[in-house]
Structures are given as structure tokens and as C-alpha cells.
Structure 1
Amino acid sequence: MIAAWVGAVAVLVLFTVVAVLLRGSETGVYFRLADQVALVVLGLLIAGGVLLLARPRVRADAEGIEVRNILTTQRLSWQVVRRVAFPDGASWARLDLPDDEYLPVLAIQAVDGYRAVEGIARLRALHSAARTS
């Protein structure tokens, strides 16, 4: 999350600096105020896209699990979830659902190392407890 904020601020600063310096440079092209504003707006849009990477989250309790990925949020009961999986070589965890479907869980990623292992273990414990009761 911190990396996404730092990246978004860096992108916005970079686009703003380029927009300011663009008008004063001798490139042979005439840049106007509208071009500068457009460049800053483009920086804002890209920074917003970078911030979307900080959005994934998982909330789980005894009744079910809520998975918020980049654009969507889904709440599922544990009875619908067949398995909490982290396949070999996968970048993130997933919930196996009926009919060979699955829901990616972007909040638990392989690069998180030990934290990912702890997260999967807690989700599996909640899933197991809900399925046996």
C-alpha cells in the first residue's frame, strides 16, 4: 500500500515537472497552457490507476469471506467456497468455487512471503471450521 502511494505521488510529480518545464524548453514545438494542463491531468489519471493497486483486501469471519480486488468486491459464504488455494507458481491466492470457477484473492500475494503463509493458514482455518459446523 505504501509503495502504491509513493508510486502515485512520484508519477504526479514527474508529470507536473515535465508540464512546467515543457513550455520553457526550445524544442521547436509550441506548447500552450492547455498542453500543460492536459499533461497534469494525464498524470492524475495514471496516479489514480497506480492507487488502484492498493485496493485489494480480504475480510473473513465465521459466516463467509469478502474479497475486494482492484475493481470488484464479492462476499461469499464459506459453503460456496470449495477450497482456499495457493497453487504452485501462482502469484496470488484464490478461492475455488463450484463448476471449476475460482475467485482470485489479490490481497494475498506470493511476494508477501511469510505474511502470505499466515494469511492462507488463517483463511483455511476459518473455512475448515465453517464447513465442519
Structure 2
Amino acid sequence: MPATDRFELPALPTTWAPRRNRLVLLPASAVLVVVFGGMAVVLPASWQLNDRIMLTLLGLVFAGVGLMLARPKVVVDAAGVTVVNFLRTRRLQWAEIVRVNLRQGDPWVTLDLTDGTSLAAVGIQPGGGREQAVRAARGLRDLAEAHGAASEPTTV
């Protein structure tokens, strides 16, 4: 049975991202910058300028980590898949994806690639809801089967 008979293919382009993470991390990062900057301004006069600068920079570093953690997403379009993880972004053609995996207990989807490697797709993760992650993984699997060279069944 073709994949398109089991599930309706997601409309292209589609973006999957852990929305709860972003909902928490983006405002928290802004609050960290404001709090650490405010602390640097209201500190007693006994604190030197370099202490104030370092406190402000520490707030910026914490906010940067928060923004990095909010970054993951998976974007699909007619040409392929863009996987944005914490530090790196990778563009894949549909034919490069052999299998889409999301097994019980996995922290996120992994993509098996034609070059024999695997790529974590952190933008699809059960932490934001198992049902939502399974739906996204199935959608990505069905799109990969419909657009690419993947013809064997996949694990979801």
C-alpha cells in the first residue's frame, strides 16, 4: 500500500518545530538580558566597570544559549528538507533520505541517509507531545517516500 493511501501528505512547505520550547526559551532569554543588564546598572558603586560589563556579558551568554536551544526545526519543501539543529543547518535533497526513524524512547527523529550516516532532526521531538511528534514523523516519512528514492518501509 503506498504511503499516500495511509496518510494524507502534509502541504508543502511545512515547518515542524518544538513550539513549547520556543514559547518558554525566547521570552526567558529576553528576561535574562534585561535582568542581568538591570543588575549591572543598579549595583553598588563598589562594583567596578569591568564587573558590570562582565555581568551584562554573562546575561547575553545565557540568552544566547537559550536562543540556541530554541533554534531546532525541520522545514520541508518540494526540493527537499532543511534540518536546523542546535549549531548546524543541513539541506538535504529528498533522494538523500533513506529512512525516517522515531522509535519508542528516542529523544527526536533521526534520518538515515544514502551516504550511510544518520542525521538527528531535533525539530521533531516527543518532548512537546508524543502524538504530535509521531504525526510529524509519519508526515516526513510519507513525503520522503513520495518525493525521494526511499521505497522500503520505515520505522515510526
Matches within 5 A, 1:84-103: 84-98=100-114, 100-103=116-119
- Matches for 1:1-133 after TM superposition, within 5 Å: 1-23=22-44, 30-98=46-114, 100-113=116-129, 114-130=131-147, 131=149
In 2, Cα distance between equivalents of 1:132 and 1:103 = 16
Tell me the matched-pair count.
128
Maintained 8 Å contact 1:57/1:67: yes
User: 5+ residue gaps in structure 1?
Assistant: 25-29
Q: TM-score, normalised by structure 2?
A: 0.71
**Looking at both structures, which has the greater relative contact order when contacts are Cα pairs under 8 Å and sequence separation is at least 6?**
2
Identity %, equivalent residues: 38
Structure 2 residues without counterparts, runs of 5 or longer: 1-21, 152-156
In structure 2, distance between residues paired with 1:64 and 1:109: 20
Secondary structure of 1:12's partner?
Answer: helix
Deviations 1:35-73 (A, max 9, x none): 112211221122122111221121113432111112211
Cα distance 1:20–1:103, how it changes in 2: closer, same or farther (>3 A)?
same
Work out which of the two has the higher radius of gyration on C-alpha atoms and give 1 or 2. 1
For residues 27 and 98 of structure 2, what CA distance do their matches in structure 1 show? Answer: 38
User: RMSD value over aligned CA atoms?
Assistant: 2.1
